[in-house]
Structure 1
């Protein structure tokens, strides 16, 4: 072995064995017995999710078309047609039939009964009524803001506690060993199963609704942050150490940016789960909120009000997901690019 080869091997050894992590516990260590630098499965890659606006619009139109066709009364009885002026269009017949006591428009050639699902006409009328007068002396804006504020608080506290725990589990095998049994034990529990326990422990109203939303989101954020930290590129970590990066620099410049895509994906998943838990969370005695409005409408068989509440929740959820994607593109411009 000549001097050049010895010098080359000595330089490689110093790069691997010296530096901020030498002689101490490394900030990021490779698990023994397996390679992690070739991982291809992650918690989720929001940058790889693409949507075509044209197909999205087509999907929405298809849903509304099916809704309209299946819940609209098609055709009218011959005896009713004989009593009105011949040559009227179906729309005019529909209007006259709806005004006549002798013609029950909802009973003729309707695929889905109004007792099963409301028609678009009834839902539109209920929506205009809710926007103008509210429901049971509470405005629609009050219901919407109450639910939105509960989801925001649940997501905030779930992320505030979940992300640091997940990052610690990704960095430290001790933290992972300590928190793993807790996370894997509570994660499969449906939030709805804890509703009676939370009501008895915390009381009714927001004292139960917000903790239930925190429980629904915190485990998702822990898993997302842990996955993001564990999926860090080992060559980048080794290169950072060889260039003299400190542990703090490695954490802030390499590991945390690498974990951000997974964390944002976790936020989007937790957001959907939180909205899905909202209706049950607002069954705990709250006076306002979209879930409370839906529950009250159920007691009075107002299917149209229930559908309006569901549509509002869906629209708000989509808008918040779009907002998270925009923020993600601003904070992680390199995501999804090679």
Structure 2
């Protein structure tokens, strides 16, 4: 359909470039890069910020979410803050973060961290809340203490919900990463797309968008494969 729409210049290449023009632009970017950086450097700049922020969010959000789901007192402390931050669009408070931390990588990583934190936290709390009370009672009946109930019953039963949160957080963080680069950056796939659009380089814009989509699919696939390895019992009742 894309080929038919652009056949013989039926639509201006500024609006929709032909597939062969996009492919040629992709090869050119591979060979010559864009504005002093190779295509892989732009992609790595985006992924580096994403990975640092994402793994930091995983490191903090999973323990806090599990404990909040397990303890009403802890949940009462943190849930109002998360509930306030969760519906806010990350770019809405990005200007404040830039004022505090500048336009470097630190402000972008903090923004991505905040974007990824909430989905993971909420999924962890929901996962703990859905654990069947019978599982807990049986474990206690067999003599399990609080830590054993948490580590052997609550955590494994919550893993499916946790992975849902991890996948959602990756999507949110990646989308936020690209948007943040469009606001203040000098490298990255998002910056490449925005800069190319200023010069009406639709072919480069399409290359950037396709790379974003393919990268997002690959990241989600990696998380799905990890979920199948870790939560191998899910759906096998």
- Please report the TM-score for the alignment, with normalisation by the length of structure 1: 0.68
Matched, 1:69 2:16: no
**Which residue in 2 is equivalent to 1:115?**
14
Shift, 1:284, TM fit: 4.6
Does 2:204 match 1:305? yes
* CA drift at 1:286: 2.6
Q: Out of 182, 206, 217, which is 1:283 matched to?
A: 182
What SS is found at the alignment partner of 2:156? helix
Which residue number in structure 2 is paired with residue 31 of structure 1? none
Contact residue 131 and residue 140 of structure 1 kept, 8 A: yes
Structure 2 residue runs without a partner (length 5+): none
Residue of structure 1 aligned with 2:45, choices 146, 150, 154: 146
Quick check: which has more Rg, 1 or 2?
1
| Map of 1:175 onto structure 2 | 74
Q: How do residues 1-338 of structure 1 correspond to structure 2 at under 5 angstroms?
A: 66-73=1-8, 106=9, 110=10, 112-338=11-237
Q: Is the 8 A contact 1:208 1:281 kept in 2?
A: no
Give the Å deviation of 1:331.
1.0
CA root-mean-square deviation: 1.2
Q: Tell me, what secondary structure is at the counterpart of 1:115?
A: coil
Q: Secondary structure at the match of 1:282?
A: helix
The Cα of 1:301 is off from its aligned counterpart by 1.2
Write out per-residue CA displacement over residues 226-259 of structure 1, whole angstroms, 9 at most, x where no aligned residue: 0111111111111101111111111111000111
Q: Give the count of matched residue pairs.
A: 237
**Structure 1: 4+ residue segments shifted above 3 A:** none
> Could you tell me the TM-score, scaled by structure 2's length?
0.96
Q: Which has the higher helix share?
A: 2
Look up the match of 1:78.
none
